[in-house]
């Protein structure tokens, strides 16, 4: 067990131990289970059912990260990571403590995340640990195969630290 993190369980659809398409560098990507957005032609429909997937503990995920010396970062994808904001926040904190880059994908826009944070503070807590937010739903009519790290043109690659510091959305790329 990794010291300093709980045995709290997270419901996930799966983990890709080394990905080069979910953010800069080589990353471990966690696909959480459960998504309320139901984007038409979603590439991961098996992640929608909030009762599906399987459980893994936060310490098990952190051990997978720490065991791989070539990782640059970690990505939370899904599914909808902000559905698991309370559970993911302590994991995000430990990931950042260890110096990894953290990317979060969300079907919510940045503005919707801030609005939801007014009644669910875990939304803003989780967001505060992200380096990069890929925001908004997948829109089939705006799909692209050319854009870096995103599936449709409406999605933005947001530099979260600069955005939170300035109060205005700052794009990372």
- Taking the least distance from each CB to ligand SF4, the nearer of 23 and 79 is 79
Q: Is 2 in the site for ligand SF4 (CB under 6 A)?
A: no
* Footprint on residues 62-121 left by ligand SF4 (CB under 6 A): 78-80, 107
Q: Which residues pair with 102 in a beta bridge?
A: 74
Q: Is 35 in the site for ligand SF4 (CB under 6 A)?
A: yes
- Taking the least distance from each CB to ligand SF4, the nearer of 24 and 79 is 79
- Pairing label, strands 27-32, 54-57: unpaired
Residue 126 DSSP label: H
Q: What angle do CA 69, 71, 75 make, to 5 degrees?
A: 145
Q: Is 44 in the site for ligand SF4 (CB under 6 A)?
A: yes
Look at residues 114, 99, 98 and name the one whose alpha carbon lies nearest to residue 160. Answer: 114
**Which residue from 39, 83, 92, 127 is in contact with ligand SF4, where contact means CB under 6 A?**
39
- Alpha-carbon distance of 37 to 40, in angstroms, equals 9
For ligand SF4, the binding residues (CB under 6 A) are 35, 37-39, 42, 44, 47, 78-80, 107, 137-138
């Amino acid at each position: 067990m990794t010291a300093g993190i709980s045995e709290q369980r997270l419901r996930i659809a799966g983990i890709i131990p080394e990905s080069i398409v979910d953010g800069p560098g080589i990353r471990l990507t966690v696909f959480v289970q459960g998504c309320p957005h139901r984007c038409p032609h979603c590439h991961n429909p098996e992640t929608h059912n909030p009762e599906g997937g399987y459980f893994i503990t936060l310490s098990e995920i952190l051990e997978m990260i720490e065991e791989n010396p070539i990782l640059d970062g970690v990505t939370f994808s899904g599914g909808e990571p902000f559905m698991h904001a309370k559970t993911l926040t302590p994991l995000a904190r430990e990931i950042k403590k260890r110096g990894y880059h953290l990317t979060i994908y969300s079907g919510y826009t940045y503005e919707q995340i801030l609005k939801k944070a007014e009644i669910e503070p875990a939304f803003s807590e989780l967001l505060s640990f992200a380096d990069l937010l890929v925001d908004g739903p997948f829109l089939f009519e705006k799909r692209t195969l050319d854009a870096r790290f995103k599936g449709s043109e409406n999605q933005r690659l947001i530099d979260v630290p600069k955005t939170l510091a300035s109060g205005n959305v700052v794009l990372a790329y």
